[in-house]
Amino acid sequence: MITYVTGNIGKYYSVKDVFLKNKIDIDFYIYDAKELDINNIELISKRKAIDAYNIIKKPCFVIDSGFYIEDYPNKPNYPGAFVKRSGISSNIDELLEVMKDVKNRNCKFVDCLTFYDGDNFYTFYGESKGILSKTKRGEWNKKFKSNLWYVFIPQNCNKTLAEMTDYEREHRNDNRTSATILFANWYKNEYLNQKKLVKNH
């Protein structure tokens, strides 16, 4: 059993299927750790992983996300790791107003997953590129990781993440990489095997 520590239940539902497909038992613990006031998702993620481990006293992982808008007015690649603290994800209408006259609407999500077993950190990255829509589009569902899903259109797609069905999101052809998939494969095929070898010796 592996534990995902997050204050966002939507994030748990969004990654749960990946672990079940790999036949990895997953649980979650609700805890919204305080973020370091820096624009570095790896350091933020590691700090959260330590905090989470100290609370539940067993190996666990956390996932932090950054959102980068290439030509955000006067702040290129904003908000980055400040996506939550900036308030952008909770005020989509204001974001669209700020961006209304910006022609370059390229943006991307970057996920940083950190697994901490009490001794070592293991970090995995995922990236999804796309463009910012000009209006809010789509419907809420329990797998929402962010309100930015209403305005993020992945590469090679014509729908926002919020407009897509679960199947469309999972099978979209946008050349993205998934920190969750990379981690689940590593955990199943390398980490658990290493633990078995140590135990048998």
What span, in angstroms and rounded, lies between the C-alpha atoms of 31 and 115? 16
Enclosing domain of residue 58: 2-200
Predicted TM-score (pTM) of this structure? 0.85
- Across the strands, what pairs with 175? none
What span, in angstroms and rounded, lies between the C-alpha atoms of 99 and 152? 13
Return the CATH number at 81.
3.90.950.10
pLDDT at residue 40, as a whole number: 92
pLDDT at residue 115, as a whole number: 97
pLDDT at residue 199, as a whole number: 59
pLDDT at residue 196, as a whole number: 64
pLDDT at residue 148, as a whole number: 95
Which SS3 state, helix, strand or coil, does residue 38 take? coil
Q: What does the pLDDT profile of the chain (201 residues) look like in tens digits?
A: 889 999 888 888 888 889 998 899 899 999 987 788 889 999 999 999 999 999 999 999 999 989 999 999 999 999 999 988 888 989 999 999 999 999 999 999 999 999 999 999 999 999 999 999 999 999 888 777 789 999 999 999 999 999 999 899 989 999 999 999 999 999 999 988 877 665 555
pLDDT at residue 72, as a whole number: 97
At residue 122, what is the residue type?
Y
The dihedral over CA atoms of 39, 44, 166, 60, expressed in degrees to the nearest 10, equals 170
pLDDT at residue 162, as a whole number: 95
- Across the strands, what pairs with 126? 111
11-20: list long-range contacts, CB under 8 Å, 24+ apart. Answer: 11/63, 11/145, 13/142, 13/143, 14/143, 14/144, 14/145, 15/63, 15/180, 17/170, 18/178, 18/180, 18/181, 18/184, 19/184
Q: Which residues contact 178 (CB under 8 A, 6 or more apart)?
A: 18, 111, 126
Half-sphere exposure of 71 (CA within 13 A, CB side): 10
Indicate the DSSP class of residue 71.
Answer: T
Q: Residue for token digits 């980490």?
A: 191
In total, how many domains does the chain have?
1
- Contact (CB, 8 A) for 140 and 162: yes
pLDDT at residue 138, as a whole number: 95
Estimate to the nearest angstrom the gap between the alpha carbon of 138 and the chain centroid.
19
For the stretch 2-17, what's the b/e string if a residue is b when 16 or more beta carbons lie within 10 angstroms of its beta carbon?
bbbbbebebbbebbbe
